[in-house]
Structure 1
Amino acid sequence: MRCPFCNAPESRVVDSRTSRDGRAIRRRRECLACRERFTTYERVEEFRPMVVKKDGRREELDRRKMVEGILKACEKRPISVDQVEAFVSELEKEIQDRGDREVPSRFLGERIMARLREWDDVAYVRFASVYKQFKDLGEFMDQLQELLRRDEERGEPVEGEAHGE
């Protein structure tokens, strides 16, 4: 395992434990050259279905891309990396359980947006703005209006409103 800091080939395992979902081993490592510490995850290699993109291209399902996309949307939001990792594991398991050799990108995008909507409206809007590729400001504003209506229906205060009024 190469060190992500200095690219040295040797490291030692400092700590090892099973992940919460039991599908991976989390290993804390220390580089023997620069002494920096980093975390790796060991998973059983499973069959990877192909993701069918909007334009018909196919590419292998990539966990790393899903995690990075979600984390980008959740930047500076109260959502932990552990929450994202657990959700992506759950999503991978759902896909494995379906047994499909191909998964439409729409399926992944909709599942991710639904979870982000549960977690945080800002993260949801960030992800949706990239995923849905809004054509203009009007489409973006429509999405924001829908979120505001939903919050009002649930009796949640709208950002900027005084509480108790």
Structure 2
Amino acid sequence: MPKTRRCRYPNCHAMVTFPDHYCQQHYEHEAEYLASRQRWARGNDKQYTHKYNTVTRYRNEDKRQQYNFYRTRQWSHLRQQVLERDHYLCAYCKVQGVIKPAKTVDHVRPLELFYNDGASIENLSVICGSCHTLKTKWEQRYYGSGKGNTPTGNKPVDDIRTINRMMRS
């Protein structure tokens, strides 16, 4: 006896034989369903993810060292300490008088340019998504960090209040 299953169409209780997913009445949805499964499989393919993490993402030797730092036990402990120290609240919003929850821990001085300050708890702060986007754009202008930029040689700014004012102007 062949293997059977229910039609995938909502509220249709007809039985279909493997490898089909839809009954004869709803067969026009079969191609669409198979295409969506292929898209999902492509996005969740371990070989693709492995290639991205080992080849594409780590082409630049400096970035490889930076990404490896974020995988260490030291970073996970530092991150947790900072989150608890700042009570899961964005430090940049707090300077403006706004209380906003956040889970991202960011380096005040970018790790890319100041690698020796990477493990310093004084160089870490909690930041929300919108502030992180603004700060990243500011860092690219001020420090020259990021892909394709050249370092500007500006002196580091450590005060969150000053950084907040500069990134919002």
TM-score of the superposed pair, with normalisation by structure 2: 0.26
Structure richer in strand, relative to its length: 1
Structure richer in helix, relative to its length: 2
